[in-house]
Amino acid sequence: MGLGQWHAERRCFSSESPQSMDLENGPETGSLSIAVLGASGDLAKKKTFPALFHLYQQGFLPEDEVCIFGYARTKMSDDELRDRLRGYLVRDKDASSEELEVVAKFLHLIKYVSGPYDSEDGFRQLDKEILEHESLKTCAEGSSRRLFYLALPPSVYPSVCKMIKACCMNKSDGGWTRVVVEKPFGKDLESAEQLSTQIGELFEEPQIYRIDHYLGKELVQNMLVLRFANRLFLPLWNRDNIDNVQIVFREDFGTEGRGGYFDQYGIIRDIIQNHLLQVFCLIAMEKPVSLKADHIRDEKVKVLQSVIPIKDEEVVLGQYDDYRNDPTVPNDSNTPTFASVILRIDNERWEGVPFIVKAGKALNSRKAEIRVQFKDVPGDIFKCQKQGRNEFVIRLQPEEAMYMKLTVKQPGLEMSTVQSELDLSYRQRYQGVKIPEAYERLILDTVRGDQQHFVRRDELKASWEIFTPLLHRIDKGEFKPFSYQAGSRGPAEADKLLEKVGYVQTHDYVWSPPSLE
Q: What is the pLDDT of residues 473-495, one digit of tens each?
A: 999 999 999 999 999 999 999 99
> What are the two backbone dihedrals, phi and then psi, of residue 269, each rounded to the nearest 5 degrees?
-70, -35
User: CA 437, 443, 445, 447 torsion: positive or negative?
Assistant: negative
Do the beta carbons of residue 363 and residue 494 sit within 8 Å? no
Q: Is 213 a catalytic residue?
A: no
How does the average pLDDT of the chain come out, rounded? 87
511 has pLDDT over 70:
no
Q: How many CA atoms lie within 13 A of 406 on its CB side?
A: 8
Q: What percent of the chain has pLDDT over 90?
A: 61
Q: Mean of the pLDDT values across residues 437-454?
A: 92
pLDDT at 11: 38
Q: What is the pLDDT of residues 343-397, one digit of tens each?
A: 999 999 999 999 999 999 999 999 999 999 999 888 777 776 666 788 999 999 8
pLDDT at 27: 41
pLDDT at 161: 95
Catalytic residue among 275, 295, 472, 507: 275
- What is the pTM for the complete model shown? 0.88
Grade residue 13 by pLDDT with cuts at 50, 70 and 90. very low
Q: Mean of the pLDDT values across residues 92-118?
A: 86
159 has pLDDT over 50:
yes
**Maximum Cα–Cα distance across the chain:** 82
17 has pLDDT over 60:
no
Cβ neighbours for 49, distance < 8 A, ≥ 6 positions apart: 36, 39, 68, 85, 88, 89, 110
Q: What angle do CA 458, 44, 443 make, to 5 degrees?
A: 50
Q: Mean of the pLDDT values across residues 506-516?
A: 67
Q: 346-374: string of b/e by CB count within 10 Å (b at 16+)?
A: eeebbeebbbbbbbbbbbeeeebbbbbbb
Do the beta carbons of residue 390 and residue 509 sit within 8 Å? no
pLDDT at 16: 34
Say which residue, 26 or 401, is predicted with more confidence.
Answer: 401
Q: Mean of the pLDDT values across residues 3-18?
A: 38
Nearest to 419, CA basis, from 379, 381, 385, 377: 385
pLDDT at 255: 87
- Please give the Cα distance from 270 to 459 (Å, whole number): 17
> What would the DSSP string read from start to end of 73-91?
SS---HHHHHHHHHHHH--
Cβ neighbours for 82, distance < 8 A, ≥ 6 positions apart: 107, 108, 110
- Indicate the burial class of 463 (C-beta count within 10 angstroms; 0-12, 13-18, 19 or more): buried
Nearest to 408, CA basis, from 420, 396, 400, 397: 420
- Please give the Cα distance from 95 to 104 (Å, whole number): 13
pLDDT at 1: 42
26 has pLDDT over 80:
no
- Please give the Cα distance from 375 to 244 (Å, whole number): 8
Q: Mean of the pLDDT values across residues 64-81?
A: 92
512 has pLDDT over 80:
no
Nearest to 110, CA basis, from 131, 74, 79, 75: 79
Q: Residue 472 is inside which H or E element, if any?
A: helix 457-475
- Please give the Cα distance from 359 to 34 (Å, whole number): 34
- Please give the Cα distance from 364 to 485 (Å, whole number): 10
pLDDT at 344: 97
Q: What is the pLDDT of residues 259-299, one digit of tens each?
A: 888 898 999 999 999 999 999 999 999 999 999 999 999 99
Cβ neighbours for 198, distance < 8 A, ≥ 6 positions apart: 157, 158, 161
Nearest to 73, CA basis, from 114, 45, 113: 114
Do the beta carbons of residue 373 and residue 498 sit within 8 Å? no
Say which residue, 125 or 214, is predicted with more confidence.
Answer: 125
429 has pLDDT over 90:
no
Grade residue 8 by pLDDT with cuts at 50, 70 and 90. very low
Nearest to 497, CA basis, from 487, 489, 509: 489
335 has pLDDT over 70:
yes
Q: Mean of the pLDDT values across residues 49-77?
A: 92
Do the beta carbons of residue 210 and residue 300 sit within 8 Å? no
pLDDT at 306: 97
- Please give the Cα distance from 293 to 388 (Å, whole number): 39
